[in-house]
């Protein structure tokens, strides 16, 4: 191989001999010490380039003394100026340190650099199947959202089909229908009516799974707020619903105390299949009997008794019990005169041959007659009058409750 | 069973516009607590996933957000729903960025 050591100093002057015999004419003593252009080839052809400053351990005779040439002037200098141009020598590493590295090569073994392995976590593996748990979880999310869209559309279909079936009746009875999701108003003796469809959460996979362990049904709750009615409280509910619903309602727990529990009038309802499932809580027996033994009520209620969850009639309705009602309330909570009927949207599984989420025509007919029943009860209650004894008894109850309330709030304020 | 003609019972002069019932008043609808509980649970799991780098917590947080979304009412605030989803998704992403190894199923060391 062919190797030239060129020091690209600006004041360097080239020599006109050929390259083997290249030396620095006109260099000062210091330059000749720094760059010795004498090249020797040792026997196996490797250029031994004598080098550079401060190498004391190399003996002087190795570097024969050369005659200093005079520096070139004028045209001759121009002719060789290209030798000073580093681009001329492409690929040749003019760095003086390389020659030093070569020199060390011969002298001592290269010290192994100390490699420290950084604590870098393993990168994503090339095979994605080691992420099978993540794939299962993603698949679970996919199923969840699939069920969400199916369940929501099923509920929407149920609600619209119920509304379509009852729209004609509602528009006949009320001046305003559907101001809010099924709020109606503008009818004789009725302040307003709200129909709430409490459907199963078919869109939530967790609820669907819970449904298997704790079955429940779609519920329609019709709540009519009356303009006026006599003072009494009654509630007819299935035993299952009674334990949950009744305990929640302030007016029932206040006015229908333990000893007033009874059952449906057996003469009119004794023949019904689900007669024994019902519990009657009534403050004034005369009022509940009059309501439940009315011929029209008997025909509709008796026919659809299996669908009914509860029938709640009250002049002291104040909603579910509020936990902090005593501590914060200074006066009696506002009460409403209401008729609330809750029934199942779909026929109980026992009666319908195939348990489907569709409302059949027969179902529609039954739902319409139950809505008729509630409106009929509203009319009847506005005409219904209690006897004198029952009225005085009811008034006594209400004053007793008011006193107890004032005493309780007074005691709380005193504390 | 009812007065046949609707003109006898309809009273357009007595229409009462709907007013949303104040919470605690008799007319207040029964509130379903599920979306709020699942939202809270989702946020707790997201925090665990982010701070303690537990991947399974982050995944459970996503499921809690989904259940809360499925049970939320139309009247509910969508911002809260969106923030709960963003928090749980960021928990999953961060836990995989910090440690890209797959989750080790509990049954693998049985």
pLDDT in tens, B28-57: 666 788 888 999 999 999 999 999 989 999
For A125, the closest chain B residue by CA position comes to B101
Q: How close A284 gets to chain B, by Cα (Å)?
A: 22
Could A141 and B101 be called an inter-chain contact, meaning their C-beta atoms sit closer than 8 Å?
Answer: no
Bigger pLDDT: A340 vs A11: A340
Bigger pLDDT: B107 vs A398: A398
Tokens for A368, please give them: 């319409």
Q: Mind giving me the DSSP string for A260-326?
A: GEE---HHHHTTSTTGGGEEEEES-HHHHHHHHT-HHHHHHHHHTGGGEEEEEEEEEE--BPPTTHH
Could B26 and A336 be called an inter-chain contact, meaning their C-beta atoms sit closer than 8 Å?
Answer: yes
Q: Which residues of A touch B95 (CB under 8 A)?
A: none
A221-230 per-position pLDDT tens digit: 999 999 999 9
Interface test with B, best of A175, A207, A226 (most B CBs within 10 A): A175
B10, B28, B101: residue with CB nearest A319: B28
Tokens for B5, please give them: 């003609």
3-state secondary structure of A235: strand
Q: Which residues of B touch A (CB under 8 A)?
A: 1-2, 6, 8-18, 24-30, 59, 62-63, 66-67, 70-71, 99-103, 105
- Range from A93-97, A141-145, A206-210, B2-6 that averages highest in pLDDT: A141-145
For B31, the closest chain A residue by CA position comes to A320
What's the confidence (pLDDT) of residue A123? 55
Query: Comparing C-alpha atoms, which of A120, A77, A379, A15 is closest to residue B98?
Result: A120
Angle at A67 between CA A63 and CA A69, to 5 degrees: 125
In the predicted structure, residue A35 carries a pLDDT above the cut 50: no
Q: Which residues of B touch A301 (CB under 8 A)?
A: none
Could B70 and A204 be called an inter-chain contact, meaning their C-beta atoms sit closer than 8 Å?
Answer: yes
Bigger pLDDT: A219 vs A177: A219
Lowest mean pLDDT among A49-58, A214-223, A384-393: A49-58
Is the Cα dihedral A13, A15, A19, A24 positive or negative?
A: negative
Quote the CA–CA distance of B104 and A132 in Å, as a whole number: 10
Lowest mean pLDDT among A40-49, B31-40, B89-98: A40-49
- Range from A6-15, A80-89, B21-30 that averages highest in pLDDT: B21-30
Asked whether the beta carbons of A341 and A311 are under 8 A apart, the reply is: yes
- Label residue A332 by pLDDT band (50, 70, 90): confident
Residue numbers of A between 354 and 413 with CB closer than 8 Å to B: 372, 375-376
Interface test with B, best of A199, A319, A328 (most B CBs within 10 A): A319
Q: How many CB pairs under 8 A join A and B?
A: 106
Could B6 and A191 be called an inter-chain contact, meaning their C-beta atoms sit closer than 8 Å?
Answer: no
Q: Which residues of A touch B31 (CB under 8 A)?
A: none
What's the confidence (pLDDT) of residue B93? 94
B6, B67, B105: residue with CB nearest A206: B67
Quote the CA–CA distance of A66 and A22 in Å, as a whole number: 11
């Amino acid at each position: 191989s062919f190797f030239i050591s060129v020091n690209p100093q600006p004041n360097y002057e080239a020599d006109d001999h050929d390259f083997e015999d290249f030396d620095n004419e006109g260099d000062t003593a210091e330059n000749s010490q720094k760059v010795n252009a004498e090249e020797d080839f040792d026997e196996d052809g490797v250029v031994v380039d004598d080098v550079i400053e401060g190498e004391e351990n190399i003996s002087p005779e190795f570097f024969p003394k050369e005659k200093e040439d005079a520096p070139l002037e004028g045209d001759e200098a121009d002719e060789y100026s290209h030798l000073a141009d580093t681009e001329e020598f492409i690929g040749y590493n003019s760095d003086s340190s390389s020659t030093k590295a070569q020199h060390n090569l011969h002298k001592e073994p290269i010290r192994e650099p100390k490699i420290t392995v950084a604590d870098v976590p393993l990168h994503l593996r090339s095979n994605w199947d080691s992420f099978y748990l993540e794939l299962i979880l993603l698949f679970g999310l996919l199923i969840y959202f699939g069920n969400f869209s199916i369940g929501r559309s099923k509920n929407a279909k149920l609600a619209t089909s119920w509304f379509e079936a009852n729209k004609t009746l509602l528009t006949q009875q009320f001046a305003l229908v559907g101001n809010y999701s099924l709020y109606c108003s503008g009818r004789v003796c009725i302040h307003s009516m709200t129909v709430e469809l409490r459907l199963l959460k078919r869109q939530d996979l967790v609820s669907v799974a819970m449904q298997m362990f704790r079955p429940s049904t779609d519920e329609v709750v019709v709540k009519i707020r009356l303009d006026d009615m006599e003072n009494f409280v009654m509630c007819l509910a299935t035993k299952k619903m009674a334990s949950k619903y009744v305990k929640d309602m302030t007016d029932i727990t206040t006015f229908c105390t333990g000893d007033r529990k009874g059952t449906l009038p057996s003469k009119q309802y004794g023949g019904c299949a689900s007669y024994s499932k019902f519990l009657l809580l009534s403050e004034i027996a005369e009022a509940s009997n009059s309501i439940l033994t009315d011929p029209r009520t008997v025909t509709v209620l008796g026919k659809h008794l299996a669908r009914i969850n509860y029938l709640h009639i009250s002049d002291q309705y104040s909603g579910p019990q509020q936990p902090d009602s005593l501590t914060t309330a200074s006066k009696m909570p506002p009460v409403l005169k209401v008729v609330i009927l809750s029934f199942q949207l779909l026929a109980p599984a026992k009666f319908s041959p195939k348990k489907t989420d569709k409302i059949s025509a027969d179902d529609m007919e039954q739902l319409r007659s139950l809505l008729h029943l509630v409106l009929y009860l509203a009319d009847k209650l506005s005409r219904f009058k209690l006897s004198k004894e029952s009225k005085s008894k009811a008034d006594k109850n209400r004053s007793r409750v008011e006193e107890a309330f004032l005493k309780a709030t007074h005691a709380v304020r005193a504390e | 069973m009812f007065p046949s003609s609707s003109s006898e019972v309809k009273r357009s002069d007595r229409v009462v516009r709907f007013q949303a019932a104040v919470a605690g008043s008799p007319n207040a609808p029964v509130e379903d607590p599920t979306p709020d509980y699942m939202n809270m649970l989702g946020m707790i799991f997201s925090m665990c996933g982010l701070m303690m780098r537990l991947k399974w917590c982050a995944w459970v947080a996503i499921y809690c957000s989904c259940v809360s979304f499925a049970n939320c009412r139309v009247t509910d605030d969508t911002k809260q729903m969106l923030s709960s989803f963003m928090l749980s998704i960021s928990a999953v992403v961060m836990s995989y960025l910090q440690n890209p190894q797959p989750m080790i199923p509990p049954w693998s060391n049985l």
